[in-house]
């Protein structure tokens, strides 16, 4: 079953077209990575998929819903990891997971996410003191803390 469907997605900035008719489908359970050079529209595309940025043309559906017009409840079913996650420097890793989890009705327990992403040893470390790899793993954990629908089959 396709969970993401994009057809002829276009986006321009200042008259320069960044996304030129992007087409793809993603089946449920698939992990998608978007690669390309700087300025090729990777972040723009992800933001369009998440309903965070408008598109100039084309269609996008996530589970049959257009992110541009999706109701607020729809967003709780989607987990996104953007290019950068700027957290307060002194916020501790476990506190970040707790905070993001507080936005959802049934979050994944903090201890489970920390263990799943090998972050338990730095749970009490301020984010600013963690390595780049730990920060990336924390970012993925924060994207998944709300149990996005496409991840319901994951075992932590």
Domain limits, the chain: 2-75, 93-151
SS3 100: helix
pLDDT for 24 equals 94
CA torsion sign for 114, 134, 89, 100 is negative
Q: At what angle do helices 93-101 and 132-144 cross, to 10 degrees?
A: 20
The phi-psi region of residue 22 (left if phi > 0; otherwise alpha if psi is between -120 and 50; otherwise beta) is beta
Give the distance, in angstroms, between the CA of residue 81 and the centroid of all CA atoms in the same chain.
3
The percentage of the chain sitting over the pLDDT mark of 90, rounded to a whole number, equals 55
pLDDT digits (tens, 9 = 90+) for 62-100: 888 999 998 877 777 777 776 667 888 899 999 999 999
pLDDT at residue 97 in the model = 96
Fold observed for domain 2-75: Rossmann fold (3.40.50)
**Could you read off the pLDDT of 18-65 as tens digits, one per residue?**
999 999 999 887 777 888 899 899 989 988 998 889 999 999 998 889
């Amino acid at each position: 079953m396709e969970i993401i469907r994009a057809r002829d997605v276009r986006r321009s900035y200042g008259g320069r077209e960044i996304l030129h008719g992007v087409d793809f489908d993603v089946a449920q359970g698939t992990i998608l990575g978007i690669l390309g050079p700087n300025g090729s529209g990777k972040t723009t595309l992800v933001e369009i998929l998440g309903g965070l940025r408008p598109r100039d043309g084309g269609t996008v559906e996530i589970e049959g819903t257009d992110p541009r017009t999706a109701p607020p409840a729809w967003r709780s079913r989607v987990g996104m990891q953007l290019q950068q996650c700027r957290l307060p420097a002194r916020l501790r890793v476990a506190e970040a997971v707790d905070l993001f989890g507080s936005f959802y009705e049934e979050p994944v327990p903090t201890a489970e996410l920390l263990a799943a992403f090998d972050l338990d040893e730095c749970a009490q470390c301020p984010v600013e003191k963690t390595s780049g790899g730990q920060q990336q793993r924390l970012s993925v954990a924060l994207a998944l803390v709300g149990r996005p629908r496409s991840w319901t089959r994951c075992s932590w």
